[in-house]
Each structure stands twice: as C-alpha cells, then as structure tokens.
Amino acid sequence: MNSNKGSTGTYAVTWLAGPTTFTFSLPVCQNITAQPPAICETVSRLSMWIDRLHPTVNTDEHEFMTREEIMQFCACGVISKVECQTTTGQSLAQSPDFATCSKDNGLVCSFLENFPMGCQDYRVRYECQEQVCHTPTCTTPDKTRRL
C-alpha cells in the first residue's frame, strides 16, 4: 500500500492486489470548523395585479395592497416600487387622468379632479426586493477505482 499527499489537498492511496490496482482519493480536512462565506444576492419579485375597484360615475379609483397583504407578500424584504396602469395596459403617464401612484398609497384617482370624465379603471402591482443568502457546501470526490 502506498500513500502520498497530492498537490490538490487530497491523499491518493493505492493498493496492489495482484494484477488489480485500486486507488482512492481522500480529501484532506485542513480546517474543519471553517465554513465558506455566504453568497448573497438581491432577488426581486412582482405581486399579482390588483384591481378591486371598478369606478363608475361619481366614484374615485383607489387600488392598493393593505399593510397585511404587504407583510404576507414581502415580509423579509422591502417594497422597491409599484407599477400602475389602466386595465387595458396603458401606463399612468399615458393616461389623461390626474392620478398618483406611490409605494405608500398605491394608485389614487379622484373623480372630482377628473370631472366630468371621471377615472379610468386601474390596476397596480408591487415589487419586493429581498436579500437571499446561500452557504456553499463542500463535496468530497467519489472513490475511484483503476483496473
């Protein structure tokens, strides 16, 4: 049986058993308590579109997530932005309505500010950004056999 330390931090152990040679590569544990550093990345995800109200004559349009819904959707992150558009896909900037769109209040469109036409039907969705960390795991090489 021969044993020698390779340059890659492994030991190669060779057994000679007649015409057959078996070689196993075993990892060397240099620092068992050390763990590799965590790898972190920012992950963004969007909520579903929210369209609960359908404005009619003399009504305002207000689409938003409640605090409870935000906590369920983005408990470990922050709301980074909100998107507001008509239910036909037109952006708020292209809409003739006087309306506001913010992370704190969602979409707000006042009938009185848009009299006599009123507000179009809008929908909103929120973006949540979360920090996700993964700790890499070490794997040991499989046993190899040479015949």
Residues 78 and 122 in one domain: yes
Residues 66 and 96 in one domain: yes
How high is the pLDDT of residue 17?
Answer: 52
What are the tens digits of pLDDT across the range 58-101?
899 999 999 999 999 999 999 999 999 999 999 999 999 999 99
What are the tens digits of pLDDT across the range 4-61?
544 445 555 555 555 655 555 555 555 556 678 899 999 999 999 999 999 988 899 9
Identify whether the C-beta of residue 74 lies closer than 8 Å to the C-beta of residue 126.
yes
How high is the pLDDT of residue 110?
Answer: 97
Residues 68 and 113 in one domain: yes
Range of the domain at 8: 2-33
Dihedral in degrees, nearest 10, Cα atoms 110, 88, 69, 128: -110
How high is the pLDDT of residue 10?
Answer: 52
DSSP readout, 89-115? S-BGGGSSS-EEEETTTEEEE-TGGGT
Residues contacting 27, CB < 8 A, separation 6+: 9, 10, 140, 141
Residues 6 and 76 in one domain: no
In a domain, 145, yes or no: no
pTM of the full structure: 0.67
Percent of the chain at pLDDT above 90? 63
In a domain, 126, yes or no: yes
DSSP readout, 118-134? -PPPEEEEEEEEEEEEE
Residue 112 phi, psi dihedral angles, 5° rounding: -65, -35
